[in-house]
A = this chain, B = another copy of it.
Amino acid sequence: MTSATAAPPPFPRRLVVIGTGLIGTSVALAAGRLGAAVWLADRDPAAARFAAGLGAGDELPAAGPPGGPADLAVLAMPPEAVAPALAAAQERGLARCYTDVASVKELPLARARELGCDLATFVAGHPLAGRERSGPAAARADLFLGRPWAICPLPETSDEATSTVAALASACGAQPVRMLAADHDRWVALVSHIPHLVAAAMGARLELAQADALALAGQGLRDVTRIAAGDTGLWTQILAANAAHAASLLPAIAEDLSAMAVALAGIAEGDEESLKRLTGLLERGGAGVARIPGKQGGPPAAYTVVQVVIGDQPGELARVFQAAGEAGINIEDVRIEHSPGLPAGVLELSVGPQAAAGLTAALAAGGWPVRR
């Protein structure tokens, strides 16, 4: 924001959504719930009619929104389609501002510049939300709740356009986050596009596997490969639009897997150094995963957890906390796990690492089964 005098535009009350797939229809549902007037269009008229039937808005008349340009037009389509759709929409004067929701940002911006689009009224955007199901039938008004929504204004982008899109993101329950398009593309390559390729490479190993082997599959395999079941055509487009960033990250993963294979072959021969190398590779993986923020966006916890078995007698919890308090222990977090049908549960007490030994001793002295 370069101007401090202009009042921030309110949440866009008149919205056009072009592209009524999962994301477009979800934006329409969320905005409509807040009272916005929403007009829907899609290159497949049946899809727009379907979304309208769901209550996501009205079909966009050929003459444009009744009463003149909308506050904002959302272009909800794959990256390659954004710039031509923007040029057409600006030509028709559909709205005062425009945004897109495609999962890469440099390519649509570059193409829009090539096509001579007005970049003062266009803000490239990307809500980081999705489902493994696609299409309007999978849309949900709460799809964006608590998710980041990347907003990548250019130097020439108007403040009004930027804050209109930020207001839409906030109204949808998302957190608008401003960033450079180049940073966005590098970052989503790491946290979204590369995981997709890794899942696909794992999935490809199942193509010729014996059915008896697949019958042993558990939640782990399903989780690792789930996203590879997504729409292959859409993903080819997404990856192609971010090809250079994605290509740069893959060799390191391939090298780690090759190093794991070498270490395992060494272990099979009884080599102790290979065992250490494998452990080191696994620990780096665990350390990386631990850096993914929790769903609430906070940093990963650094507490030690002490577990104590508690019965369901009245006052049991109070007695545990009293014993902890008398030992001078500051308890940071509490969680109760209860197996169905059992008279006892497990109380998990999170404490600073230096307090864990004292708490364990205090509770053991009080007669509770306890472990760290």
Contact = CB atoms under 8 A, between A and B. Distances in A.
Interface stretch (A161-169, A200-208, A322-330): A200-208
Interface string A201-224: 111111101111111111111111
Contacts of A200: 256, 260, 281-282, 284-286
A115 interface: no
Contacts of A365: none
Interface stretch (A8-16, A61-69, A235-243): A235-243
Interface string A292-328: 1100010000000001010000000000000000000
Contacts of A275: 236, 240
Contact of A191 (B138, B217, B341): B217
Contact of A279 (B226, B236, B246): B236
B203 A218 contact: no
Interface of A: 29, 33, 46-47, 49-50, 52-55, 128-130, 135-142, 147-148, 150, 177, 179, 183-184, 186-188, 190-192, 194-207, 209-230, 232-233, 235-236, 239-240, 243-244, 246-247, 249-258, 260-262, 264-265, 267-268, 275, 278-279, 281-293, 297, 307, 309, 337, 339-344, 346, 348, 368-371
